[in-house]
Amino acid sequence: MSRDTRRNDFTRRDFLATAAKGAGALGLVVFGGGFAFVSANTVKSRTGETIGPFEYDPTKHEYLYLIDVSKCIGCGSCVRACERENDVPRHYFRTLVERYHVSRHGRVYADSPNGGRDGFDAKDIDADITKSFFVPKLCNHCTNTPCAQLCPVGASFVSPEGLVLVDEERCIGCSYCVQACPYGSRFIHPVTHTASKCTLCCHRLSKGLTTACVQNCPTGARRLGDSKAVGDEVVEIIATSNVRLLKPELHTEPKCYYVNCSQEVR
């Protein structure tokens, strides 16, 4: 396996290997029997201005994801951005967009051609259809995650920030986690033959950046929040709005919230 193939992935072995180098830009903190990154990176603004070193302590963050369905236009920019950022193989998806049509009798039609990557072609809408909308989907980074619980080798794990990640050097490609995920957010990579999924762009978060999908959404339908950040706007919206969780009956306690989302979405 070439290093380039998985350059954006996050493994336990990377924690130890980087710490062993003694690099000043990265320290290792022991907490509760686990490991955490504390990194210092030089961050630049969009204009290229250096805004100084950015120190990152994952134990001080707990990320939440908010999707406003009413703002999604089904353009596929998020899917393409994720593909570029994370070297996602074609016809596989770490995030996708679904299109829903709902009839006056409550019948639901849903599709996602090529994961919504290339947008959606206009199609004749039956007169019986009363509403149509787009719904972005991704890993819900659950608190009670069935994928990590069922992994026989401990390759799926939860990071200090609450992100559900895969250690590709441990993964044996058994696909138990793929079958266990109730949101269909995992797949077996056709090159590495290991489990692959959304990491919430943890390699970007550690540099003070947002996720590729959030950055490239033209309408602000996707937003990233941090429950440990005082006054975080996404946290305020979740606390004060009528938000939905997908499949709450499974008690996975997902960290992906939907606002203005119809009950037909599953």
End position of a domain, from candidates 45, 60, 75:
60
End position of a domain, from candidates 36, 60, 84:
60
Considering the domain architecture, whether residues 84 and 73 belong to the same structural domain is answered as: yes
> Containing H/E element for 212?
helix 212-216
Q: What per-residue confidence (pLDDT) applies to 39?
A: 44
Considering the domain architecture, whether residues 80 and 179 belong to the same structural domain is answered as: yes
| This prediction's pTM | 0.81
Domain count, the chain: 2
Q: SS3 for 106? A: coil
CA distance 60 to 40: 15
Digit-by-digit pLDDT tens for the chain (266 residues) are 333 334 445 555 554 444 333 333 333 333 323 334 444 455 444 445 544 566 899 999 999 999 999 999 999 999 999 999 999 999 999 999 999 999 998 899 999 999 999 999 987 667 789 999 999 999 999 999 999 999 999 999 999 999 999 999 999 999 999 999 999 999 999 999 999 999 999 999 999 999 999 999 999 999 999 999 999 999 999 999 999 999 999 999 999 999 999 999 98
CA atoms within 13 A on the CB side of 70: 4
CA distances 235 to 86, 200, 241, Å, are: 27, 17, 10
End position of a domain, from candidates 18, 37, 60:
60
Judge contact between 94 and 138, C-beta under 8 A.
Answer: yes
Considering the domain architecture, whether residues 115 and 225 belong to the same structural domain is answered as: yes
Considering the domain architecture, whether residues 18 and 90 belong to the same structural domain is answered as: no
Q: What per-residue confidence (pLDDT) applies to 29?
A: 34
Considering the domain architecture, whether residues 35 and 153 belong to the same structural domain is answered as: no
Considering the domain architecture, whether residues 50 and 84 belong to the same structural domain is answered as: no
Q: What per-residue confidence (pLDDT) applies to 181?
A: 97
Considering the domain architecture, whether residues 27 and 83 belong to the same structural domain is answered as: no
Considering the domain architecture, whether residues 182 and 146 belong to the same structural domain is answered as: yes
Considering the domain architecture, whether residues 67 and 56 belong to the same structural domain is answered as: no
Considering the domain architecture, whether residues 48 and 139 belong to the same structural domain is answered as: no
Considering the domain architecture, whether residues 159 and 40 belong to the same structural domain is answered as: no
Domain that holds residue 36: 3-60
Q: What per-residue confidence (pLDDT) applies to 123?
A: 73
Considering the domain architecture, whether residues 256 and 150 belong to the same structural domain is answered as: yes
